[in-house]
Amino acid sequence: MARIHHIGIWTNDIDRLAGFYGRYFGTTAGPRYLNSAKGFESAFLTLAGGAKLELMRTSTLSLSRVAAGTQPFGLAHVAVEVGSTAAVDALAGRLRTDGYPVLDGPRRTGDGYYEAVVLDPDGNRVEICAAPANT
């Protein structure tokens, strides 16, 4: 049986992104990995359901050249299911109040999901969703 183990996200600031996902999505951070020879570091964040986000930084990549919210290649979005439409509304409202861009929604999609799309501090799209009742 296949399942997604983790999703990797490049960032220039692991602590900032870890704080965002911890505060709004309840992730738990694991130990930091550092490979000085390659200029690489990462940290895994675990969601309550067991899926993980790997936040990665390297001294050879500058994300400052990528405009927030654009999708030139790679990761399109991370979707985090929060359980109910009320929870989607509440979290989207909280993020908006805290100054994070809410790009879309909350709304019901054509395939029955209820979602809002926000940007994390690095401009990655995060779908906050509640699954249709029949899934």
Q: What's the CA gap between 11 and 63, in Å, rounded?
A: 7
- Judged on CB neighbours under 10 Å (0-12, 13-18, 19+), 61 is middle
3 state DSSP class of 89? helix
Domains and their CATH numbers in the chain: 1-60 (3.10.180.10), 76-135 (3.10.180.10)
pLDDT of residue 64: 55
If residue 30 lies in a helix (H) or strand (E), which one and from where to where? strand 28-35
pLDDT digits (tens, 9 = 90+) for 51-65: 999 888 887 655 555
pTM over 0.95: no
Q: Name the percent of the chain lying above pLDDT 90.
A: 47
